[in-house]
Amino acid sequence: MSRSIAILAGLLFALLSIDCCAGYSAHGRPPHPISDAVLARQLVHQSNWAAVGSISHNEKITDFPMVNILAVDDSALNGSSTGRIHFLLADFEFTGADLLHNNKITFFFSEEQTGSCNRRGVNPMEPACPRIMISGRNRKLDPKSPEYNDYMEAFNKRHKHSNIWVEAHHFYLNELEIENIFIVAYQGGPRTISAEEYYSAHL
């Protein structure tokens, strides 16, 4: 009995080892390493959309993780990166509805959003294709705040029809209040980046 348990444990360990390390091969190290925070800022700035996860409040999948796609933009009016993740939500839509009940959201960004991992022959699941998971709370932006018009105008530059979403379908502009960032990039396994490091990084 104990022998078969030992064999089973050994097998499990072997399987876990394969699983854990196969994804963390060293191949694809960047020629000029940059900091995790700068890399995270680049991934966000180059993305026009993100996959997002929320805790579902939908009656068919209550409390399951829910995933969706949101149009995003982190640009100042002149197009430079602010790192501030802006996105439109509507209360009737999956993510907006979930956040009204449980204000927790995770944004996913991958370098493959530009197609560059595929071009380099790197599978998006490998750390050689950098990815970040940014978790936080949603903050609905006040249309009367001084920055609001600039943020909305910057958002419209990237997303041509977003004015129509706002006017005809009651979408509203939001900003992510970042609580944690995980990064999986190149060697070393998953790491964290604080919101302070992220915002103070210079592209």
**Which of 150/177 has CB closer to ligand NAG?**
150
Per-residue interface string for the shown chain with ligand NAG, residues 9-38, x marking contact by CB under 6 A: ------------------------------
Minimum Å gap between C-beta 78 and ligand NAG is 4
Q: Can residue 4 be called a binding residue for ligand NAG (CB under 6 A)?
A: no
Nearest to 96 by CA among 60, 140, 134, 133: 140
Q: DSSP letters of 118-186?
A: HHTT--TTSTTS-EEEEEEEEEEPPTTSTTHHHHHHHHHHHSTTHHHHHHHH--EEEEEEEEEEEEE-S
**Which of 2/78 has CB closer to ligand NAG?**
78
**Which of 15/76 has CB closer to ligand NAG?**
76
Q: Can residue 145 be called a binding residue for ligand NAG (CB under 6 A)?
A: no
Q: Can residue 146 be called a binding residue for ligand NAG (CB under 6 A)?
A: no
Query: Which residues ranging from 46 to 105 are in contact with ligand NAG (CB under 6 A)?
Result: 76, 78, 80
Which residues sit opposite 54 in a β-bridge? 66, 105
Q: Which helix (H) or strand (E) holds 70?
A: strand 65-75
Q: Which helix (H) or strand (E) holds 116?
A: helix 116-119
CB-based contact 28:186 (threshold 8 Å): yes
Q: Can residue 8 be called a binding residue for ligand NAG (CB under 6 A)?
A: no
Where on the chain is the footprint of ligand NAG (CB under 6 A)?
Answer: 76, 78, 80
